[in-house]
Amino acid sequence: MSTPADYIRAFMPDRPVQPSRAALVIIDMQYATGSRVGGLGRKLKADGSTVGDYRFNRIEQSVLPCTLRLRALFNQLKLPVLHVTLGAANPDGSDAPIHLRKLLVEFSNFVGSREHEILDELKPLPGEHVLRKTTIGAFASTNIDSLLRALGAEQLYLAGVSTNMCVETTAREAADRGYLVTLVEDACGTTHEDLHHVTMRNFQRLFGRVRSTDEALVELQMPA
């Protein structure tokens, strides 16, 4: 039995990709929760939990290599690359919203700590931008909107973690501000596979687009 077409996608506007207006936004690829040797990974291992296995395997096998491929092309095309990090200014997390403080403190995710740092493989290159947020979405606590508009970037490609949290929230915030947003499916990851797929399915209903890394690389190199 075939699945009926989703009515709401009929309302999605037809917006052509303009590579010259694109920017890559890499979300929270930090040691705190983006590496099995970081705060989250160490805690789960100490607890004898395997709940993070899918997350870290996906980051190592898909998210990281795909993000590196995307960044290489954006740099080759001289298009903006933005790294967004999550973390507090102080070890006690007092500058972050209450619901995030315990998580940030637990994983020592504050400015100056190893956990707060971006993965060595993705260490920002000269000319790339770094923005620190204290909220789930980047638009709520950084100047990302004004930066993107100053750069002339209206079409965003998002990669990073976690798909259903910081990536999705930032993507929705951007869509509500008029950006054409593409979630690069194999360059995103989270702890539970079902949440990843549901997020992708829901996002492309009305918020924006979902593409693979291969598809993104092809369309970004197409003539305007």
What does the pLDDT profile of the chain (224 residues) look like in tens digits? 566 778 888 888 889 999 999 999 999 999 999 999 999 999 999 999 999 999 999 999 999 999 999 999 999 999 999 999 999 999 999 999 999 999 999 999 999 999 999 999 999 999 999 999 999 999 999 999 999 999 999 999 999 999 999 999 999 999 999 999 999 999 999 999 999 999 999 999 999 999 999 999 999 998 76
Tell me the two tokens of residue 177: 């501000």
pLDDT for 150 equals: 98
> Rg of the chain's alpha carbons, rounded to an integer?
17
The model carries a pTM of 0.96
Q: Which residues pair with 181 in a beta bridge?
A: 156
Q: Please compute, for residue 169, the number of CA atoms within 13 A of its CA located in the half-sphere on the CB side.
A: 17
Burial call 25-51: b when 16+ CB within 10 Å, e when fewer: bbbbbbbbbbbbebbbbeebeeeeeee
pLDDT for 33 equals: 97
d(C-alpha 201, C-alpha 215), whole Å:
17
d(C-alpha 174, C-alpha 153), whole Å:
12
Where are the domains positioned within the chain? 18-219
CB 139 within 8 A of CB 170: yes
pLDDT for 10 equals: 85
CB 24 within 8 A of CB 159: yes
CA angle 11, 16, 21 (to 5 degrees): 125
| The CATH number of domain 18-219 is 3.40.50.850 | yes
Tell me the two tokens of residue 91: 């070890």
Residue type at 118 in one-letter notation = I
d(C-alpha 129, C-alpha 143), whole Å:
11
